Amino acid sequence: MVKKLFLFTLMFVLVSALILGGCAKPTPTPEKPTPTPEKPIVIRLAAAFSPAEMIIQSMQELETTIPQETNGRVKFEVYPAATLYGFSDALVALQAGELEMTFIGRPSGAVLPEWDVITSLPFLFDDRAHLLRFMETDAYKHVCDRVEAMGIKTLTRVYPYGKENIMNSKRPIEKLEDIQGLKISGPPGGVLTEAYTLWGATPAPIPIPELTTALETGMVDGLECHMVPLPFTDFDRLTPYCTRCNICWFSIGLAASTKWWDTVPPDLQQTLQPIFNDAIDTWGEAIFAFDDAQFEIYKSSPGTVITQLSDAEKARFKDALKPLYDKLKEDPNIREIIEAAEATS
């Protein structure tokens, strides 16, 4: 009897299992997740230059070039007219890794003393070719190394904007005495301000957007300037006296946040580096030709008077700066720059 009961129970369990197994839903095979597209790296270039300036237009071309050359892995965005950061703020943001790129050179002189000397110390370089020769020296490479140690990587060489002139509304400047008493605008602080003081002029730094009004009202008499801004300003009308003297070299290049650049995959670094080099090289050649063309237009403006410092007068201007040169040479890093400039003259 017990044996029959056991067999009956076993058969009941087996039949129930078969019935339940037939009714149970099959376990679905998990689907493979759809791959998420790689999020592009975004490079923001902050600048204080006007959107109308050639350097900004050159950089905006990269907004198309860079995504194409990196197969969409990198997006490039240009923020002109200080819409993201001004010159000095951009450098601080680079150091903190809060911004990817900005310009380095004259704009950074207020923050980096070496750049102030290279781009603003009067008569350090004879001409554009001299500046470019200097950039092949160890002194220039050491500057780039020191800047990188501060968190700012120099991606490209710097190029001058054009031939710097002393332009004013009062009189021709043919000798040292002619500049004395004039109120001259320039970058605030730094070596150019000290140079004006040693020449007997009154430094009066005025922001570029306010310079037209300052010239019209007599707050300033003149400025150190190249010809590139003339199409966007009234400087040709307000400063009819122009002294061609290559006083110094307003130069810019591209710089990146070292902290950010180190996170960029090596293959992308190798792709981006020549793109940036080519863009600055192309702009550097074009802007110098543009400066020459604008000078020809300026010369034809009614009332314009062009003067050129003689070698003897240029020597007098530079001799007056001996106290400034001597003071700067007390810093071994800046002394290296000055000596390299003298050696490549």
Region 290-308 average pLDDT = 93
Q: How confident is the model at residue 24 (pLDDT cuts 50, 70, 90)?
A: very low
Angle at 38 between CA 35 and CA 41, to 5 degrees: 170
Region 146-158 average pLDDT = 93
pLDDT above 90 as % of the chain: 72
3-state SS, one letter per residue, for the chain? CHHHHHHHHHHHHHHHHHHHHHHCCCCCCCCCCCCCCCCCEEEEEECCCCCCCHHHHHHHHHHHHHHHHCCCCEEEEEECCCCCCCHHHHHHHHHHCCCCEEEEEHHHCCCCHHHHHHHHCCCCCCCHHHHHHHCCCHHHHHHHHHHHHCCEEECCCCEECCCCEEEECCCCCCCHHHHCCCEEECCCCHHHHHHHHHHCCEECCCCHHHHHHHHHHCCCCEEEECCCCHHHCCHHHHCCEEEECCCCCCEEEEEEEHHHHCCCCHHHHHHHHHHHHHHHHHHHHHHHHHHHHHHHHHHCCCCCEEEECCHHHHHHHHHCCHHHHHHHCCCHHHHHHHHHHHHCC
Q: How confident is the model at residue 187 (pLDDT cuts 50, 70, 90)?
A: confident
Q: What is the mean pLDDT of the chain?
A: 88
The per-residue pLDDT for range 96-111, each reduced to its tens digit, is 999 999 999 887 777 7
- Mean pLDDT is lowest, of 32-41, 153-162, 168-177, for 32-41
Is it the case that residue 246 has pLDDT exceeding 90? no
Cβ(148)–Cβ(258) below 8 Å: yes
What's the pLDDT at 12?
A: 42
What's the pLDDT at 5?
A: 39
How long, in residues, is the chain? 345
What's the pLDDT at 7?
A: 38
* Residue among 180, 210, 211, 207 nearest 196 (CA): 180
Is it the case that residue 25 has pLDDT exceeding 70? no
Region 255-284 average pLDDT = 97
Distances (CA, A) of 237 to 52, 222, 285, 302: 20, 12, 27, 8
Is it the case that residue 112 has pLDDT exceeding 60? yes
Region 290-302 average pLDDT = 92
Region 58-86 average pLDDT = 96
Domains of the chain: 41-343 (3.40.190.170)
Q: What is the Cα–Cα distance from 9 to 109, expressed in whole angstroms?
A: 95
Q: What is the Cα–Cα distance from 150 to 257, expressed in whole angstroms?
A: 10
Region 3-32 average pLDDT = 44
Q: What is the Cα–Cα distance from 219 to 232, expressed in whole angstroms?
A: 20
What's the pLDDT at 37?
A: 56
Is it the case that residue 336 has pLDDT exceeding 60? yes
Q: What is the Cα–Cα distance from 39 to 283, expressed in whole angstroms?
A: 30
What's the pLDDT at 163?
A: 86
Tokens for 75, please give them. Answer: 């997006």
Q: What is the Cα–Cα distance from 270 to 19, expressed in whole angstroms?
A: 66
What's the pLDDT at 36?
A: 45
What's the pLDDT at 241?
A: 97
Tokens for 149, please give them. Answer: 């140690």
Is it the case that residue 125 has pLDDT exceeding 50? yes
Spacing of C-alpha 52 from chain mean position = 16
Cβ(238)–Cβ(216) below 8 Å: yes
- Mean pLDDT is lowest, of 15-24, 206-215, 298-307, for 15-24
Q: Which residue has the higher pLDDT, 59 or 30?
A: 59
Q: How confident is the model at residue 126 (pLDDT cuts 50, 70, 90)?
A: very high
* Torsion, Cα of 13, 19, 25, 29 (10° steps): 60
